[in-house]
Structure 1
């Protein structure tokens, strides 16, 4: 272990170790992660890893919790709180563009959240479901406001619309990750604007 490794503050050490775990998980799956391997690749003693996370389960839980919190934080940053004074269509298009840009710029985080990873423990599914519920709780009232503000579509079920938008957002993120050149944030935002235009608005 190098002197530089020993001098890292606890929070920086934790980030370093979680970066190592993320790389292993995305390259080889959760089953490839072990205390020994993380310590070896980080260039530190196993005792340092144990001091940070307690055990392997604690380390994987920390990884999943960090990813979920960061993902929800990024989504929350592009979903404004009510009351809103902007045009609802413009707001949605801008939010879609901003979100897909975040996905493009943070691919490791969103691959961890959106793509099934080999050997993922049950906590991964739980945290993804909890994160999805948190985003939906932010999105549904905004969708209800948006439909009222734009004057329709009349009679549309806003809860189901919010769920549909959430699913479309997740799919948009996946195709951006899979082929960012072909499915750029601008292309997806333009499609969103065209789709909204198809619904029409009262004069």
Structure 2
């Protein structure tokens, strides 16, 4: 087996352990035994456990997030520049010209409940498609960070900050007010969405797509109701 193939094999083994049992369950000895190879070969590839886990996180993050930024904010059509994940985390690619996702005047104020449900379903179906395209990678991304590599918490915090900005843009549109991405409503909404995503990935039969979408609609309705009264204060 080539060094490249061996590296991929070892990462696959570590990936499966993390997905099933969490980061803390991974050890060099366990990965080597599962391969099966000598521990020295694992050290040769990754230097130490931290190196193995960092390489795993980088690979799975790239797989999970590939293309996710193409989910339109606020129902922008295909003729308009689409935002990218890279823009929001500062790598310099484009966001749609002039877009202000937290401006409630963008794309119209206070859509009807039916329009809001349609928009939530559209975005929810796109999110489900990404979860289904890389379920194990997403299980890792949504796993508790205990035992994870250095920088994991910071990476997760960055991802959540990005998700809150996008979510606040949608919620501002629905509620007709500017919603704080770091406020309690958006934080609670994201935490609930993450939990239903974990449940769905763990057991799609018990938590099917339509149930996920139903929860998403209800959560957005709740968040909109919480924020909308602020317009009159």
User: TM-score of the superposition, structure 2-length normalised?
Assistant: 0.61
Question: In structure 2, what is the Cα distance between the partners aligned to 1:165 and 1:111?
Answer: 19
Go from structure 1 to structure 2 and tell me whether the alpha carbon gap of 1:75 and 1:139 turns closer, same or farther (over 3 Å shift).
Answer: farther
Change in 2 beyond 3 A, CA 1:32/1:175: closer
Q: Tell me if the contact between 2:193 and 2:216 (Cα under 8 Å) persists in the aligned partners.
A: no
Using the TM superposition, give the Cα deviation of residue 25 of structure 1 relative to its aligned residue in structure 2, in angstroms.
3.1
Contact 2:22 2:144 (8 Å CA) reproduced:
no
CA distance in 2, matches of 1:101, 1:30: 25
Give the 5 Å matches for 1:22-171.
22-73=15-66, 75-77=68-70, 79-80=71-72, 84-85=76-77, 89-104=117-132, 106-116=134-144, 119-121=147-149, 123-144=151-172, 147=173, 152-155=174-177, 157=179, 159=181, 160=183, 162-171=186-195
Give the gaps of 5 or more residues in structure 1. Answer: none
Residue 58 and residue 196 in structure 1: after superposition, are their counterparts in 2 closer, same or farther (change >3 A)?
Answer: closer
Number of aligned residues = 186
Look up the SS of the partner of 1:22 in the other structure: helix
Q: By how many angstroms is 1:91 displaced? A: 3.4
**SS of equivalent to 2:66:** helix
- How far does the alpha carbon of each residue in 1:2-55 deviate from its partner, in whole angstroms, 9 at most, with x for none? xxx2xx352x33221111112233445444433343233223444442332222
CA RMSD of aligned residues (A): 3.6
C-alpha distance in 2 between matches for 1:80 and 1:51: 43
Cα shift readout 1:89-142 (whole Å, capped 9, x = no counterpart): 533312212323443564422332223266445543233222222333444445
- Residues in 2 aligned to 1:82 and 1:191: alpha-carbon distance in whole angstroms: 19
Query: Do the aligned residues in 2 keep the contact of 1:36 with 1:46 (CA within 8 Å)?
Result: yes
Give the match's secondary structure for 1:90.
helix
3-state SS of paired residue (1:92): helix
Higher RCO by CA contacts (8 Å cutoff, separation 6 or greater): 1
Unaligned runs of 5+ in 2: 79-114, 226-233
Q: Is the 8 A contact 2:171 2:220 kept in 1?
A: no
Cα pair 1:72 1:135 within 8 Å, conserved? no
Higher helix share: 1
